Copies of this chain bind each other. A is one copy, B any other.
Amino acid sequence: MRTHYAVGLDFGTNSVRALVVSLKDGKECGSGVWNYAHGEAGIILESEKPHLARQHPEDYTEGIKQSVECALKEASQNKEFARDSIIGIGVDTTGSTPLPVDDRGEPLAFQAKYENNPHAFAWLWKDHTSHAEAEEITEAAAKLRPHYLKKCGGAYSSEWLWSKLLNCCRAAPEVVKDAHTWVEIADWIPAILTGTSAPAKIKRNICAAGHKAMFNPEWGGYPDVEFLGELDPALAQIRQTLPDQAVDISQAVGGLTEEWAKELGLNPGIAVAAGAFDAHLGAVGSGISPGTLVKIMGTSTCDMMVAPMDTKLPDIPGLCGIVPGSILPDCFGLEAGQSAVGDIYNWFVNHIQPGGPEKGSHEELTEGAELLSPGESGLLGLDWHNGNRTVLVDQRLTGLLIGMNLHTTPSEIYRALIESTAFGARMIMQRFEEYGNEVNEVINCGGIAMKNPLVMQIHADVTGKEMKVAQSSQTCALGAAMAGAVAAGAEAGGYDDFYEAQKNMTGVREKSYKPDPENAKVYNRLFGLYSRLHDIYGRKDYESNLYDVMKELLALSEEQRTGQGK
């Protein structure tokens, strides 16, 4: 039988990667990476607005061409491979990263009028200019539509769609006026590849809509016009350009256009799957299924689970989102995460390190940390240096370290920081399980999973669960390619569902990390103490007079930084 292939396109924060994958066994036979050309490493910044982060959509179109060409070139060195055996394309992107487009679906950024106006560019996921608007939306929803908040952990984020659009209404009303609609790049890229980018035709994916735009079939899709109108009439107008249905990654949004087919050297008409976010397709590429937690371990983490659609799933407090079909089409997608993990280790190494880059490297600190037994340092930390996403959903929390003495070493602190993130991970697992989602298996992917055995072992010891590592080092692009294969369907040489695709195309590495029972016992004791600190400093409903300490310190800090206190 002839081997078929699919292409996964993975649009990251700084670059795009194309991956050519064999549908027979998931083998990655060609890969191409193109670094975005605009701004600093692909991000347009403004020195006066430190929270602003935008991207130019030209980088996406150019990125498709460059990365696919490179990936196909590499794949072609493989004798078995032929370009016309590629039957589908899938796309994952960062998000929420929305883009204003005109009535033909062209980005405003392509107009001469807007070529230097970052408000007309794509608003990158990590743009944090919309903090006040997020609070405004949360308050309005709490008052007018409390059920909206229950599916997104109780608070609407500044990183999400409506916060960004509301901010643009104020910061650049002319952009909002000139835009016919706004599109997540996860939708815009499949749309341009299939010639469906005209506003009336463009399909919206359930992953972006459900996790970042308060879309839920329970209330008929996106938030209603009346509610959005309360926030700003322009939002109500944008709402009217949005469909009431969303698509999932098993669905093709169309076939590859003649033009793109020629440009890329692929067959026209091959299926292009609906897009989704990187973490969600990463979970697919890691082999997610009910009972399996996929942890994407990097500077922060995403912790993903799925639950069959017929599960009586309660709202789970603290989860970023519970969205039907957002990961696997026939399951609820459950998204949790930690706001900072690798970022905390990097903070210590890059900012507080002993002896400069040479002496205080991750490697050197790891060497020292490996020699320690759990609990030996007497240190215990809270991993809230960037707030707490799950389960507290509170950005206004900060780090804490307890137990220092005059002999405390950097390696001891480094290990305590790692342990604190593992305790945070256990908190999330506990929350999943408390609400009926048993964690039978944990598969890790992302940079830390592949490169940092100490972190993985500590996670195993702290959680008492075996830490497996996904076979692929490109699980997002692999998941995207799998979406292309399923969108194409079995008849075309692809798959009819993701379970079949996963069986053949995903797996875990031989090396896994099993909990050491002695260490696990000690960590159980430490987790008891961590939980106490967690609840006392993090839970408003908890009886303690320490809940407001971090808040007051933050308030004081802001007063002093802005000079309001004087």
Q: Which residues of B contact A347 (CB under 8 A)?
A: 404, 406-408
For residue A129, CB closer than 8 A to chain B, the reply is no
- Across the interface, A522 reaches (CB within 8 A) one of B401, B410, B525, B560, namely B560
Residue pair A403, B553 in contact (C-beta under 8 Å) = yes
| Number of chain A interface residues as a range | 35 or more
Q: Which residues of B contact A375 (CB under 8 A)?
A: 553, 556-557, 559-560, 565
A400 to B374, CA, bound (A): 19
Q: Scoring A residues 542 to 553 as 1 if CB is less than 8 Å from chain B, else 0, what string do you get?
A: 001110011011
A223 to B384, CA, bound (A): 52
A539 to B351, CA, bound (A): 34
Residue pair A404, B398 in contact (C-beta under 8 Å) = yes
With A413-B352, A546-B532, A546-B536 known as contacts, the answer to whether A400 contacts B404 (CB < 8 A) is: yes
Oligomer copy total: 2
**How many whole Å from A418's CB to the nearest CB in chain B?**
15
For residue A311, CB closer than 8 A to chain B, the reply is no
A543 to B386, CA, bound (A): 30
- Across the interface, A380 reaches (CB within 8 A) one of B352, B406, B532, B553, namely B553
Residue pair B405, A398 in contact (C-beta under 8 Å) = yes
Residue pair A351, B553 in contact (C-beta under 8 Å) = no
Q: Which residues of B contact A269 (CB under 8 A)?
A: none
For residue A490, CB closer than 8 A to chain B, the reply is no
A377 to B525, CA, bound (A): 32
**How many whole Å from A115's CB to the nearest CB in chain B?**
33
For residue A402, CB closer than 8 A to chain B, the reply is yes
A546 to B380, CA, bound (A): 13
Residue pair A398, B406 in contact (C-beta under 8 Å) = no
For residue A533, CB closer than 8 A to chain B, the reply is yes
Residue pair A401, B404 in contact (C-beta under 8 Å) = yes
Which residues of chain A from 404 to 423 have a CB within 8 Å of any chain B CB?
404-410, 413
For residue A314, CB closer than 8 A to chain B, the reply is no
**How many whole Å from A344's CB to the nearest CB in chain B?**
7
Q: Which residues of B contact A356 (CB under 8 A)?
A: 354-356, 359
A26 to B566, CA, bound (A): 44
For residue A378, CB closer than 8 A to chain B, the reply is yes
Which of chain B's residues has its CB closest to A356's CB? B355
Q: Which residues of B contact A374 (CB under 8 A)?
A: 560
A386 to B405, CA, bound (A): 6
For residue A74, CB closer than 8 A to chain B, the reply is no
Residue pair A560, B373 in contact (C-beta under 8 Å) = yes
For residue A312, CB closer than 8 A to chain B, the reply is no
Q: Which residues of B contact A379 (CB under 8 A)?
A: 553
For residue A353, CB closer than 8 A to chain B, the reply is yes
Which residues of chain A from 497 to 542 have a CB within 8 Å of any chain B CB?
518, 522, 525-526, 529, 532-533, 536
For residue A399, CB closer than 8 A to chain B, the reply is yes
Residue pair B399, A405 in contact (C-beta under 8 Å) = yes
Q: Which residues of B contact A351 (CB under 8 A)?
A: 354, 407-410
Residue pair B566, A518 in contact (C-beta under 8 Å) = yes
- Across the interface, A557 reaches (CB within 8 A) one of B353, B377, B536, namely B377
**How many whole Å from A470's CB to the nearest CB in chain B?**
27
A529 to B547, CA, bound (A): 11
Which of chain B's residues has its CB closest to A557's CB? B378
Which of chain B's residues has its CB closest to A410's CB? B352
Q: Which residues of B contact A380 (CB under 8 A)?
A: 549, 553
Q: Which residues of B contact A377 (CB under 8 A)?
A: 557
Q: Which residues of B contact A405 (CB under 8 A)?
A: 385-386, 398-399
With A377-B557, A404-B401, A549-B532 known as contacts, the answer to whether A522 contacts B353 (CB < 8 A) is: no
**How many whole Å from A58's CB to the nearest CB in chain B?**
31
Please name 17 pairs of A and B residues whose Cβ atoms are closer than 8 Å in the assembled complex, sorted by A: A351-B354, A353-B355, A374-B560, A376-B557, A379-B553, A380-B549, A385-B405, A385-B408, A400-B400, A401-B401, A401-B404, A402-B553, A518-B566, A522-B556, A522-B565, A529-B553, A532-B545
| 10 further contact pairs, Cβ within 8 A, besides A378-B554, A402-B549 | A347-B408, A352-B354, A352-B408, A375-B553, A375-B560, A400-B401, A518-B566, A522-B560, A526-B556, A536-B546
